[in-house]
Amino acid sequence: MTTLIEPGHVPAGTGGTGVKRIGIIGTGIMGADHARLLTHAVSGAVVGGVFDLDDERARGVAGASGGAEVFTDPYALIADDAIDAVLIASSDATHEEYVLACVAAGKPVLCEKPLAPTVDGCARILDAETAHGSRLITVGFMRRFDPGYTDLKALLATGEIGAPLMLHNVHRNPAAVPGMPSANLITNSAVHELDITRWLFDDEISEVAVHAPRSSGNAGGTRDPQLLVLTTASGVLSDVEIFVNARYGYEVRCELVAETGTATLDAPPPTSVRRSGLHARELPADWRPRFAEAYRLELQDWIDGAGQGATAWDGFAATFVAQACVKALESGERYTVEMPSTPELYRR
């Protein structure tokens, strides 16, 4: 039986060892990567159990994690007393049912972003957690732990470059599934920038517009790229270029413009190569190398119960803004975002 935990903390492990046994649901790219980090790079945790609809994947990750139990029923994993906390890394649309089951079992859960792809789904999760009465849910907005973004936030707090005015974000993936719904660029990818904008400025997004040029010939009918223009309640403008078929590599960067200075977040690898008339740096193929340290810090924070991760409210808020952006994309109009007031549970 799990004791009351606050906020989103993983409880002390069973057996008095202090080591927490984590159950992972979804052992694809992210589930496997989190399992690797929990096993080799995070202290105080082991992978205790895994479940995936694809049994072979689950077995592979269990083997690589030192022989974790392979469950055939995800709800049995959640209910198992030997599992102290659950990490959900299955596909977006499945998050809600698993998070709700974790809350019903009183079990801490780290859910990959988005908390749920729809506002209704996020609202049902908020209702369940607020009825439970304490925070169990952490959402995997790992950029909050990325050293580049935390430097930007610390710099703003010093006042050295004055008050923020604009944030220009670039978010590019090499390739997406052909014909992917255009809304996914917002709900699955740009949702990171929606969260980072709220977190960096400690401000709500109050208005959104989305522009799309002609789509790339590589996008298979998806509206790609897109340009989101977000305005915060205090009047900061955050624009997001999201381009998921950029082909050349994975890249996330931004420039913060403030009243007396600017700051650029780039994450070039430390080594550059000069040859054949080129001066080049390699770009990663996906998010794992780019945000490796952020994932490690996010997991360590969760295991330690330090509570710096995004809450279910942050997950709700990001999806709430994402939904307004989807409407803006579809209609070509601007939308005012009327965020509901923050429930008491998340005001502390």
Q: Rule CB under 6 A: which residues touch ligand INS?
A: 173, 188-189, 192, 287
When CB distances are held under 5 to 8 angstroms depending on the partner's kind, the choice from ligand NAD, ligand INS, none that residue 189 binds is: ligand INS
Q: Which is nearer to ligand NAD, 99 or 263 (CB)?
A: 99
Cβ of residue 42: shortest distance to ligand NAD, in angstroms?
A: 16
When CB distances are held under 5 to 8 angstroms depending on the partner's kind, the choice from ligand INS, ligand NAD, none that residue 140 binds is: ligand NAD
Q: Which of residues 193-222 bind ligand NAD (CB under 6 A)?
A: none
Considering only residues 24, 27, 193, 310, which one is a binding residue for ligand NAD as defined by CB under 6 A? 27
Q: Which is nearer to ligand INS, 91 or 234 (CB)?
A: 91
Cβ of residue 82: shortest distance to ligand INS, in angstroms?
A: 30
Q: Which is nearer to ligand INS, 21 or 192 (CB)?
A: 192
Q: Which is nearer to ligand INS, 167 or 258 (CB)?
A: 167
Q: Note the Cα 123 to chain centre separation in Å.
A: 18
Residue with tokens 């298979």, as numbered in its chain: 220
Cβ of residue 30: shortest distance to ligand NAD, in angstroms?
A: 3
Considering only residues 5, 22, 24, 30, which one is a binding residue for ligand NAD as defined by CB under 6 A? 30
Given the rule CB under 6 A, which of 59-67, 85-93, 168-176, 328-336 is the region that contacts ligand NAD? 85-93
Cβ of residue 346: shortest distance to ligand NAD, in angstroms?
A: 21
Q: Is 29 in the site for ligand NAD (CB under 6 A)?
A: yes
Q: What is the SS3 assignment for the chain?
A: CCCCCCCCCCCCCHHHCCCEEEEEECCCHHHHHHHHHHHHCCCCEEEEEEECCCHHHHHHHHHHCCCCEECCCHHHHHHCCCCCEEEECCCHHHHHHHHHHHHHCCCCEEEECCCCCCHHHHHHHHHHHHHHCCCCEEEECHHHHCHHHHHHHHHHHHCCCCCEEEEEEEEECCCCCCCCCCCHHHHHHHHHHHHHHHHHHCCCEEEEEEECCCCCCCCCCCCCCEEEEEEECCCCEEEEEEECCCCCCCEEEEEEEECCCEEEECCCCCCCEEECCEEECCCCCCHHHHCHHHHHHHHHHHHHCCCCCECHHHHHHHHHHHHHHHHHHHHCCCEECCCCCCCHHHCC
Cβ of residue 301: shortest distance to ligand NAD, in angstroms?
A: 14
- Tell me how far CA of residue 250 lies from CA of 126, 240, 284, in angstroms: 33, 15, 6
By beta carbon distance, the residue nearest ligand INS is 189
When CB distances are held under 5 to 8 angstroms depending on the partner's kind, the choice from ligand INS, ligand NAD, none that residue 27 binds is: ligand NAD
Considering only residues 94, 130, 134, 150, which one is a binding residue for ligand NAD as defined by CB under 6 A? 94
Residues that bind ligand NAD (CB under 6 A): 25-31, 51-54, 57, 74, 89-92, 94, 112-113, 140, 142, 188, 287, 291
